[in-house]
């Protein structure tokens, strides 16, 4: 058994200004996505430029923040919104949803693809290995805040919190949805893959990881279990990701369209011709 050290969620106070660790984790995540994207764009054979990555990360930041907050209010916080009409704007009270952030980011990347005249599927694929480090640090932020604890447990790696030993589900998510998923996606996207294959793999792996962790994570108190005494909102929102990931992988390897994220000379033999241009019309 481990004892939770009860971190101070505020990293720095400058008069009335309070800088929270959770906010710092978001900044670290965005910085990691920017650095990794620029490094990948600089590799030989890439059809991306550093300026492309700068704009992509900016659009992604807007999608994460707006989508994450909107998703939390709609998926988990409608009860709070019913009591306080201004609740969606009170971001300082906490509350972000990964699934909402994902939807917001998808919309943002569609807008980016339209502005840059890139194929939107290629944009999704290029971005697929970039958010995982941010997911890792975001869950570390949850751990520092002492939130999203798992169910009571007797395992030796459980943390004693308020007199009860619980699963550190935030750390489980940091390891699976963050570090492990990043390692797999970074390896998978290091060379050309069929268009939409990276996107499909990301959806499938994240969905499976989140669905499984929900079995040891305590659901939001205002929602509880939604069906069968064990189905949570997180599992309901993850199931479409799993099914969508399988469908995209089947489509990608059935069509084997060339990726527009690599120059034609870098494409593997047998890739479908005429679809690899980084400036292809938005799909």
Supply the range of the domain harboring residue 146: 2-192
Q: What is the pLDDT of residues 223-262, one digit of tens each?
A: 788 888 878 988 999 999 999 999 999 999 999 999 999 9
Q: Per-residue confidence at 282, pLDDT binned at 50, 70, 90?
A: very low
Q: Which pLDDT value is given to residue 257? A: 95
The strand pair at 10-14 and 17-20 is best described as antiparallel
pLDDT value at position 118? 94
Counting the structural domains of the chain, the total is 1
Q: What is the pLDDT of residues 153-162, one digit of tens each?
A: 999 999 998 8
At 278 the pLDDT is 42
What pTM, to 2 d.p., does this model score?
0.85
Over residues 84-133, the pLDDT tens digits come to: 777 776 665 667 787 888 899 999 999 999 999 999 999 999 999 999 99
Residue 243 lies in a domain: no
pLDDT reported for residue 281: 30
**Is 33 a domain residue?**
yes
Q: Exposed e or buried b for every residue in 187-221, given b needs 16+ CB within 10 A? A: ebbeebbbbbbbbbbbbbbbbbbbbebbebbbbbe
**Average pLDDT score over the chain:** 88
In-domain check, residue 239: no
- Whether 169 is in a domain gets the answer yes
């Amino acid at each position: 058994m481990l004892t939770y050290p009860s971190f101070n969620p505020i990293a720095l106070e400058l008069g009335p200004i309070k800088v929270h660790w959770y906010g710092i984790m978001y900044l670290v995540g965005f910085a990691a996505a920017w650095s990794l994207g620029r490094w990948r764009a600089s590799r030989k054979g890439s059809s991306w430029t550093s300026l492309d990555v700068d704009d992509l990360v900016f659009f992604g930041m807007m999608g994460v923040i707006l989508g994450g907050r909107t998703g939390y209010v709609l998926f988990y916080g409608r009860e709070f919104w019913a009591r306080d009409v201004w609740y969606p704007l009170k971001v300082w009270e906490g509350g972000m949803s990964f699934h909402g952030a994902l939807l917001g980011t998808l919309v943002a990347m569609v807008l980016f693809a339209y502005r840059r005249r890139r194929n939107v599927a290629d944009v999704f694929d290029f971005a697929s290995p970039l958010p995982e480090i941010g997911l890792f640090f975001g869950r570390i932020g949850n751990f520092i805040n002492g939130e999203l604890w798992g169910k009571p447990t007797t395992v030796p790696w459980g943390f004693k919190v308020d007199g009860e030993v619980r699963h550190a589900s935030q750390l489980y998510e940091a390891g699976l949805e963050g570090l492990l998923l990043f390692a797999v996606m970074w390896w998978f996207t290091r060379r050309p893959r069929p268009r939409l294959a990276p996107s499909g793999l990301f959806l499938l792996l994240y969905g499976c990881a989140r669905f499984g962790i929900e079995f040891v994570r305590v659901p939001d108190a205002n929602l509880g279990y939604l069906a069968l005494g064990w189905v949570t909102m997180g599992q309901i929102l993850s199931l479409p990701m799993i099914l969508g990931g399988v469908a995209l992988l089947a489509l990608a390897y059935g069509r084997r369209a060339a990726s527009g994220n690599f120059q034609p000379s870098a494409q593997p033999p047998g890739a479908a011709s005429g679809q690899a241009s980084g400036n292809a019309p938005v799909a």
